[in-house]
A and B are shown apart, each in its own frame.
Chain A
Amino acid sequence: MIPAPFTYRRARTVEEAVDLAAEAGDEGKFLAGGHSLLPLMKLRFAVPEVLIDIGRLAELSRHHDLEHSALLAAELPLLARAAGAVGDPQVRHRGTIGGSLVHADAASDLPAVGLALDATLVARGPSGSREIAMTDFFRGLFETALEPGELLTEIRIRRPAERGWSFQKFTKRAIDWAIVGVAVQGGRVALVNMDSVPARAGGVERALAAGDGPAAAAAHAAEGTSPVSDINASAAYREHLARVLTARALAEAASRN
């Protein structure tokens, strides 16, 4: 399969990328690692007329970089661990955290991790930069708060006050997307693939804040979610998995506090 025709442009700086995007208008799309976008283009789910390649920008962090970062291993092990669980080594050599966040696939691991870490995103557009809270970022199916032509340039994460963390991912094969996943950092809990958007598990977080233990809090994991039924799992099975994986994640996080 070959994507539909497009014009390829390579940006050497963030400024040039934003300029090229403004020039391309609605028909432009940024290309980072390309491991979400190119498969969609082969299937004609995405048909951009202009691809703006930001893959050479020094600002990018690939999953492979995060997975092997000594700094992250010490300070944000949740992010290092989850990045190492994305796809397979070849995918991690190309895919980037920024690309994963803006692609906003509810079945991807790093959006939930960004929510659990309460990250702040910085976007650059033609009229300047602005900050977007992670909790305001995901708006709908594959839809984010980014305006057309805006480029994600920074992901800011504070050193977590509560050190306990866990990342749980249930898959059929190692390289698959999560059927369900859970990311926990302290009292923040986010779910992978339990809704059309990556989302925090509010019921679990409220139960934890009220003093519930891991098992009691995890019973709320599927509240307010609307998981799909597909070839891998029914919605009811996903709800069950969310409760089981959240209980494991909270117990593991508690053991790391």
Chain B
Amino acid sequence: VKVAIGVNGRQVEAEVEDRLLLVHFVREVAGLTATNIGCDTTSCGACTVLLDGESVKSCTVLAAQADGCEVTTCEGLTGSDGRWHAVQRGFHAEHGVQCGFCTPGMIMAAVSLLAENPDPTVAQVRAGLEGNICRCTGYHNIVRAVLAAARDGRLPGGGSPAGAADPAEEPA
């Protein structure tokens, strides 16, 4: 099947197998390897990317299903000026990283969470990241990192999370 998928603002067109998974499209066709393949069973969240602004597990989406859509990976968060996204800064500042394997998925899940809820409580951060597993069990610093990003995103000039939406505009 022929697909055209926007990846971090770049249009990637390719003739791919109908059964190609989006995560393989991102890694092998678009050549972006921040997105990791962990469990491959929709459990661990390591392969989380944004599909039209919402977090999805790219091991459980076909590339064909994403045809015509916009995918954002961890590489796509950094501005063209090299400035990190608020969530990337939060993970750096709070050391929300141990081995790092879950980190790109955690960051993308956090970006999606903050887009829907820019000012989450600790409990809301934990619930919002329930689909992402850190096998180093470094959850405390990850939660701190997301809360720091939420604070950072609200500061003037702090760079609001990508695709942040007014919660009042949530579709009914």
Contacts and interface: CB of A to CB of B under 8 A. Distances in A.
A joins B in a complex = yes
B172 A88 contact: no
A88 B41 CA distance: 13
Contact of B41 (A39, A55, A89): A39
Query: Which of A34, A53, A175: most chain B Cβ within 10 A?
Result: A175
Contact of A53 (B41, B43, B64, B131): B64
Contacts of A70: 172
B113 interface: yes
B64 to A, nearest CB: 5
Nearest to B131: A88
Query: Which of B24, B41, B54, B65: most chain A Cβ within 10 A?
Result: B65
B40 interface: yes
B142 to A, nearest CB: 15
A88 B45 contact: yes
B116 to A, nearest CB: 8
B109 interface: yes
Interface stretch (A3-11, A132-140, A144-152): A3-11
Contacts of B42: 35, 39, 87, 90-91
A5 B18 contact: yes
B62 interface: yes
A42 B62 CA distance: 12
Nearest to A1: B40
B130 interface: yes
Contacts of B51: 93
Contacts of B18: 5-8, 51
A69 interface: yes
Contact of B45 (A38, A64, A90, A93): A90
Interface of A: 1-8, 10, 31, 34-35, 38-39, 42, 51, 53, 55, 64-65, 68-71, 87-91, 93-94, 173-175
